[in-house]
């Protein structure tokens, strides 16, 4: 009888070890992009503000950084009725300045100078690696568990907070 109980206990113990652990936690997943996508700067239709950042007013226009994504352009010539004019898609954008009708911003680690004419954005100049220390996407912005980056999916251009199943990385 004791042998049967011991065998049952061992079997139960072994089968409990074989079960996969399903741990769902709130953490970060990497957002990937290709080099072509990262360097692409486009003027598109106006978009809703999700994570507004720095603002700059120039010549009756308000420019507002959408952190990590680009710049909202709003006509404020009539302050009672501002009109969204467009969105300058600039991956990684965090900084903004305007001088002589030129938009200075960062495109990830590069400083880019953009001229907007007739609903078209043209890169006037790109200064590579000007902001070397601005981006460190090797780990998420907050400590905790996260999905390990997979280099075969492209470069990590940011992090998205979401529910993760069994994340293998943490810091």
- Give pLDDT tens digits for 42-56: 999 999 999 899 999
Round to whole Å and give the CA distance between 107 and 65.
12
Output the pLDDT for position 137. Answer: 75
**Does residue 9 lie within any of the structural domains?**
no
> Both tokens of residue 128?
């590579």
Output the pLDDT for position 119. Answer: 83
Domain count, the chain: 1
**Does residue 143 lie within any of the structural domains?**
yes
**Does residue 146 lie within any of the structural domains?**
yes
More confident residue, 168 or 17: 168
**Does residue 91 lie within any of the structural domains?**
yes
Round to whole Å and give the CA distance between 93 and 110.
10
3-state secondary structure the chain: CHHHHHHHHHHHHHHHHHCCCCCEEEEEEEEEECHHHHHCCEEECCCCCCCEEEEEEECCEEEEEECCCEEEEEECCCCCCCEEEEEEECCCCCCEEEECCEEEEEECCEEEEEEEECCEEEEEEEECCCCCCCCCCCCCCCCCEECCCCHHHCEEEEEEEEEEECCCEEC
> pTM for this structure?
0.72
**Does residue 51 lie within any of the structural domains?**
yes
Q: Reply yes or no on whether the pLDDT at 101 is more than 90.
A: yes
Distance of alpha carbon 89 from the chain centroid: 12
pLDDT tier, 36 (very low <50, low <70, confident <90, very high otherwise): confident
Output the pLDDT for position 159. Answer: 86
**Does residue 3 lie within any of the structural domains?**
no
**Does residue 88 lie within any of the structural domains?**
yes
> Both tokens of residue 79?
């302050």
Q: Within 10 Å of residue 50's Cβ, how many Cβ atoms?
A: 9
**Residue span of the structural domain in which 124 resides:** 24-170
pLDDT tier, 13 (very low <50, low <70, confident <90, very high otherwise): low
Output the pLDDT for position 22. Answer: 78
**Does residue 67 lie within any of the structural domains?**
yes
Of 32-41, 80-89, 93-102, 117-126, which gets the smallest average pLDDT? Answer: 32-41
Round to whole Å and give the CA distance between 51 and 53.
7
């Amino acid at each position: 009888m004791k042998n049967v109980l011991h065998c049952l206990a061992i079997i139960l113990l072994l089968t409990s070890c074989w079960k996969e652990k399903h741990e769902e936690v709130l953490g970060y997943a990497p957002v990937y992009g290709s080099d072509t996508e990262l360097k692409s700067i486009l003027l598109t239709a106006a978009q809703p503000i999700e994570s507004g950042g720095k603002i700059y007013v120039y010549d009756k226009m308000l420019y507002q950084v959408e952190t990590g994504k680009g710049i909202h352009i709003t006509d404020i010539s009539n302050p009672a009725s501002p009109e969204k004019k467009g969105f300058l898609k600039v991956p990684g954008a965090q900084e903004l300045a305007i001088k002589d009708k030129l938009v200075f911003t960062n495109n990830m680690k590069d400083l880019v100078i953009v001229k907007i004419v007739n609903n078209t954005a043209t890169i006037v100049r790109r200064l590579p690696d000007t902001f070397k220390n601005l981006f460190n996407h090797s780990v998420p912005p907050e400590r905790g568990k996260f999905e390990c980056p997979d280099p075969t999916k492209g470069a990590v251009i940011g992090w998205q907070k979401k529910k993760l199943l069994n994340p293998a990385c943490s810091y």
